Amino acid sequence: MYKVFVNDKPLFLTNKVEKETDFQLFLLESVDIEQLIIKMYQNKIQKANLYFPDEKAILKKLKEKIPVVKAGGGLVYNQKGEVLFIKRNGKWDLPKGGKDKGEKMQETAMREVEEETGVNGLIVTKKLQKTYHVFQRNGKYKLKVTHWFEMKTNFKGKTNPQKEEGIKKAVWLNQEEIKEAMNNSYENIKLLFVEENML
């Protein structure tokens, strides 16, 4: 099962039909995906299941209905075990961004962390899960698939938030501060921390 966030509301891609649920059910084969997304943005639908019988083909099927943008991002630890966060649009987020042509995902993630925060000397320690969310650009809805990587760095300098990308802060947060930051973050970011047993 995949979890896609639309305006921070969950849209589950599933091959099971469950009775007695407060999720609205739509058939992926026949759904007007744009209308469903608009209703989620308008708060007319809070959570939904998109059903398709073949679990292996479910994501491919969704990608046929909505343009896909690939991105790479980093969950970066310093020597103290603190995590690198950015603040953009009034919310806490992790550094990430779109893949350039010819780049490997890992290269994208490292480049974006450096560009958005000024932190360098990054070493990828493991690949994390992918997250999925829908965003709007130039009046069109797109599915962003973000490939996440855990990274470590010995960087000790001053961070340099990328102002032209709307980033107001790039800071290191400890365990307690992360829990606090999650109250003002995105659902797909929270998933990463749940997966890493940090929440």
* 87 and 135 in a common domain: yes
* 99 and 33 in a common domain: no
* 99 and 60 in a common domain: no
* 61 and 74 in a common domain: no
Residue 159: predicted pLDDT: 97
User: Residue 77: left if φ>0, alpha if ψ -120 to 50, beta else—which one?
Assistant: beta
The structure tokens 């997250």 sit at 131
Q: Do 70 and 97 touch, CB atoms closer than 8 A?
A: no
Using the predicted structure, report yes or no on whether residue 109 has a pLDDT greater than 70.
Answer: yes
Number of domains in the chain: 2
Of the chain, the percentage scoring pLDDT greater than 70 comes to 98
| Last-in-domain residue among 65, 91, 108 | 65
| Last-in-domain residue among 65, 100, 116 | 65
The model's confidence at residue 199, banded by pLDDT at 50, 70 and 90, is: low
Structural domain span for residue 137: 68-195
* 100 and 50 in a common domain: no
Using the predicted structure, report yes or no on whether residue 22 has a pLDDT greater than 90.
Answer: no
* 52 and 77 in a common domain: no
Using the predicted structure, report yes or no on whether residue 156 has a pLDDT greater than 80.
Answer: yes
* 91 and 46 in a common domain: no
